[in-house]
Amino acid sequence: MIASPVVILGARSDIGRALARGYAAKGAHVILAARGDIEADRRDLEVRSGGQPKAVAFDVTDGAPDAFFAGLGETPGTVVMVAGLLGDQDRSASDDAEAARVMATNYEGPARYLLAAARAMNGVEGGCIIGISSVAGERGRGSNYIYGSAKAGLTAFLSGLRNAQAKAGLHVMTVKPGFVATQMTAGMKLPPPLTAQPDEVAKAIIDAHEKRRDVIYVKARWRPVMAIIRAIPEGVFKKLSL
C-alpha cells in the first residue's frame, strides 16, 4: 500500500522526476519539493498523470525541517529523500567549505528532514520514509571517502530510524542505487553492468515500497560486489586504488 501524499524531496533530480512519474502512475497524490523553479515539473507531471500534483520550495540545507512539513498543509503519507551531492573528492579534501557542503547535503540535512518527517507522520496508517543512500557508504575508499562517509552516516541513521519507528508502524526503507546514469554522473565512465537508469531506480523503489522492504540494492549484482569489497583485509585494501 502506498500512503498519499507522496513528498519527493529533491524532485528536480533525474531520479526525483522518475519517482514522481512512477508514483503518479500508481494513483498517488505527489508533492514535488526542490530548489529553484519547480513549476515546470509540476505542470509536466499534471499533464502526464491527469492528477493535481503540488510544488513547494525545499532546500535540504536550510535548517528548518519542522517548518517545512508544517507548511505543507497536509500530513505526508510517504516521504522520499532524493537530495544528494556527489561533489569533487579532491576539492572537498582541500576546501573545508566544500567538504561541509557535501556532508550537509548527503547526511546532516537528509537526517534532520527525515527526523522531522517521522515527527510529522506520527500515527499515519501505512506511512513510509524512504532514504536514498549509496553503496559508497559501505566502506571508505580513497577516491570518494568524504561523500562515502556522509552516505555511511545516512545508512546508519536510516537503520536506527527503522528500528525506532517499527513499533509505531512507520516503515523506513534504505535504497542503495549504485551507479546511476544522471546529470550528476554525466561525463563519468560508468560500468554498464552496474549502472541503472533513473526509471529503473524509480521502479525498484516503488516495487520495494509496496512490498515493505527494508534495504534494497537497485541492481542485485551490487550485493556480492559489496560483500567482496567489505571482506578485503584493511592491510590489502589500503594498497588498492579504489
Asked if 81 contacts 9 with a C-beta cutoff of 8 angstroms, the reply is yes
Question: What average pLDDT does range 209-230 have in this prediction?
Answer: 96
Is pLDDT at 38 greater than 80 in this prediction?
A: yes
pLDDT digits (tens, 9 = 90+) for 126-141: 999 999 999 999 999 9
Quote the pLDDT of residue 163: 98
Report how far apart, in Å, the C-alpha atoms of 107 and of each of 23, 123, 183 are. Answer: 25, 26, 21
Quote the pLDDT of residue 182: 87
pLDDT digits (tens, 9 = 90+) for 163-178: 999 999 999 999 999 9
Quote the pLDDT of residue 122: 93
Query: Distance between CA 197 and CA 87 in Å, rounded?
Result: 20
Structure confidence at residue 87 as a pLDDT band (50, 70, 90): very high
Quote the pLDDT of residue 185: 81
Quote the pLDDT of residue 19: 98
**Coil, helix or strand at residue 32:** strand
Residues annotated as part of the active site: 147
Question: DSSP class of residue 30?
Answer: E
Is pLDDT at 186 greater than 80 in this prediction?
A: no
Range picked from 50-54, 74-78, 238-242 for highest mean pLDDT: 74-78
| Cell numbers linked to 180 | 546511476
Q: Is domain 6-237 classified as CATH 3.40.50.720?
A: yes
Quote the pLDDT of residue 183: 79
Residues 31, 33, 39, CA angle at the centre, nearest 5°?
85
The upper half-sphere exposure of residue 82, i.e. CA atoms within 13 Å in the direction of its Cβ, equals 29
Quote the pLDDT of residue 167: 92
Number of neighbouring beta carbons within 10 Å of residue 27: 10
- Percent of the chain with pLDDT strictly greater than 70: 100
